[in-house]
Structure 1
Amino acid sequence: MTTTQPIRIGVLGTHSTGKTTLLKRIEMELRAEGVTVARTGRLGKRAAAAGLPKMQHHTAASTEWIITQGIADELAAAAQGAEVVLLDRAAHDAIAYFHAALEYRAEASHRLERERLLALASTQLPKYDMLFATVLDESKPVEHGHDYDPRFRRLVDQHIRLLLDQGDIAHQRVTSDPDSQAHAIDTAVQLCLKEALV
């Protein structure tokens, strides 16, 4: 590729809706075309390892950590020469989890804190060349070994839709339907290969 900045493709969505699988498939297709790809991720697990809460216990501090660590991971991938960076949990994902956790716990946060975190996440939007939002399908079983709270899972899905709609954020919805996933993969791969020819 001739561009100095990598192509950035982000995904957000509630847990066990195929985000990581989608990015793995895009990565596989691009690598087969000789494209250098980096994929970020595991932010929730890494936050927990750092002693921060996650899921329905998400706080302003864990939200900020996840957003800023995701930014740092992306910058590191670009510095190491990745032509495409796949962002497993785009910045607004953390905001949706935070808002869902507050609603789940029937708590409120200070308006200025919410606005500050949203502003932080929003600084990343101009950097995304493509943004996917996975859609919750409750008829699909969650990954084996996970005991997710179904109400919290629904709340995250609702808050992701709300953030995307209220912010008028360009994105492509990806359902559990194989055709929807195939279309998303093809769209991402074609974008990257087109940019490679520029």
Structure 2
Amino acid sequence: MTPTTIRIGVCGAHSTGKSTLIRSIERELRRRGIAVQRTGQLGARAAQVPLPRLQHHTVESTRWVLAAGMADEITSTMRLDDAPVRVLLAEPACWDAIAYFRAALEWRGETAPRTEREALRRLADAHTPYDLLFATVLDPSFPVNAKHGYDARYRQLVDQHTHMLLREEALPYVRVTNNDASQALAIEHALHCAKEALA
């Protein structure tokens, strides 16, 4: 019997709980004996290349993030065992890179050639679809560690472009706030997705 791989991704502005949510889902899946792998740390790796980040994103840095993230997902899937149901947790999901790029352009008051924008979109669209996609919601009142030096306007733009992009692409997704009830419901969505595959 061919194993079923469930792909779960998360998008959203930085410091809105993406990693916390994915770690919580991973923990709950492992508690139930479900094989799971998680991707991450793309931002830190991009900084080591080094590539422009956050509000300084370019077409090339966005293409790198997309390609590296997709490669990570493929590699992580290969590491999963032959259990009947395996789960891949992608943090961030590939669409995240495009939202960050679009937000960076608006933040800088710039545009990019339509051919470049379409090429990035096609790259993301060609990737294996996610079975479940989450998008965190920015809460401007939620405290962020000052050492990060995040630009508040850019975070707001990333949040706006994330939800706008997912709607434009007609991608079903679940909005997740930093409210405990919303986080718990998101975890339940992920568990339900895995349980359905087991049934």
Provide TM-score, normalisation by structure 1. Answer: 0.94
Confirm or deny that 1:117 pairs with 2:116.
no
Which one is further off, 141-150 or 63-72? 141-150
Specify which of 160, 163, 167 is matched with residue 161 of structure 1: 163
Provide TM-score, normalisation by structure 2. Answer: 0.94
Confirm or deny that 1:196 pairs with 2:198.
yes
Go from structure 1 to structure 2 and tell me whether the alpha carbon gap of 1:114 and 1:76 turns closer, same or farther (over 3 Å shift).
Answer: same
Counterpart of 2:188 in 1: which secondary structure?
helix
Specify which of 182, 185, 198 is matched with residue 184 of structure 2: 182
Contact 1:5–1:78 (CA<8 Å) still a contact in 2?
no
Confirm or deny that 1:93 pairs with 2:75.
no
Counterpart of 1:96 in 2: which secondary structure?
helix
Which one is further off, 52-61 or 160-169? 160-169
What are the within-5 Å matches in structure 2 for residues 5-154 of structure 1? Answer: 5-81=4-80, 83-124=86-127, 126-143=128-145, 145-154=147-156
In structure 1, the residue matched to 2:172 is 170
RMSD of Structure 2 on Structure 1 (CA): 1.3
1:130-159, CA deviations, whole angstroms, 9 ceiling, x for partnerless residues?
000000001101146321100000010111
**C-alpha deviation, 1:5, in angstroms:** 4.3
**C-alpha deviation, 1:3, in angstroms:** 4.8
- Return 5+ residue gaps in structure 1 as ranges: none
Counterpart of 2:110 in 1: which secondary structure?
coil
Contact 2:12–2:18 (CA<8 Å) still a contact in 1?
yes
Matched positions, count: 195
Q: Tell me the percent identity.
A: 50
Measure the CA separation in 1 of the matches of 2:58 and 2:10: 21
Measure the CA separation in 1 of the matches of 2:27 and 2:139: 25
**C-alpha deviation, 1:61, in angstroms:** 0.7
One-letter amino acid matched to 2:157 = L
Contact 2:4–2:197 (CA<8 Å) still a contact in 1?
no
Measure the CA separation in 2 of the matches of 1:151 and 1:105: 11
One-letter amino acid matched to 2:129 = K
Measure the CA separation in 2 of the matches of 1:192 and 1:119: 28
Measure the CA separation in 1 of the matches of 2:32 and 2:111: 48
Which one is further off, 111-120 or 162-171? 162-171
One-letter amino acid matched to 2:76 = A
1:3-49, CA deviations, whole angstroms, 9 ceiling, x for partnerless residues?
53421000000011000000000000000011111110111111111
**C-alpha deviation, 1:72, in angstroms:** 0.6
